Amino acid sequence: MSFDIAIEVPRGDRTVSVRIAPVTGITALFGPSGVGKTTVLDAVVGLVRPASGHVRIAGATLFDANTNLPPERRGCGYVFQDGRLFPHKSVRDNLLYGWKLAPPSRRFMDLAEATRFLGIADLLDRAPRTLSGGEAQRVAIGRALLSGPRALLMDEPLSSLDADRRDGIMRVIERIRDDLSLPILYVSHDRAEVDRLAAQVVELG
């Protein structure tokens, strides 16, 4: 499964243009802050409409001249820079929120499998405010996986973590890439990070 994307997206007084060829594994959008990396993610997930082009994932067309699926039908799991866990829900309920959103036909993992895969089984009864940054990102990734995505979109998921926690989350991302074979569109401005993780690097600038 892979991305096939060629879009032009209006952003203020300029246009962000990006082409992503189909490859297996992780595609990184690399470049300094402000060049439109997150705008591209938002266009793929359906939060922003491109001016032209196409977005396809695993052969399914999400956007083109004749198609513009709403976000809830695109099947993209979005992992934000700051996690964005629901503060009033436990870890368990944050994870199950993703699972309840998933059409049964797309679910490939249940709560027990996700918590084992991510090493977060002991966090289920915790509140998000009690989690470390690395723990919170694992939970955010678990919520995305339990939504049964056809792809993951990750927006600077390591930027707020210290070196040890960064390495731990990178190993989780590598497991998703290798064991689950999910295509991942990964935003970063850290060259070492994308060199380690990505099969394809698309530079924006």
Domains of the chain: 3-203 (3.40.50.300)
Q: Assess whether pLDDT exceeds 90 at residue 102.
A: no
> At 19, which helix (H) or strand (E)?
strand 14-20
CB contact at 8 A, 108 and 152: no
What is the pLDDT at residue 1?
A: 67
In order of 6, 47, 84, 188, 198, the CA distances from 24 in angstroms are 17, 25, 28, 19, 10
Segment 174-198 mean pLDDT: 92
Beta bridge partners of 153: 78, 185
- Mean pLDDT score across all residues of the chain: 92
Segment 1-42, tens digit of pLDDT: 689 999 999 988 889 999 999 888 899 999 888 899 999 999
Segment 147-164, tens digit of pLDDT: 999 999 999 988 878 878
179 DSSP assignment = I
What is the pLDDT at residue 98?
A: 80
Q: Assess whether pLDDT exceeds 90 at residue 82.
A: no
What's the pTM value of the predicted model, to 2 decimals?
A: 0.90
Q: Which ranges of the chain does DSSP label H, i.e. alpha helix?
A: 37-45, 71-74, 91-101, 111-118, 133-146, 163-175, 191-197
Segment 47-65 mean pLDDT: 95
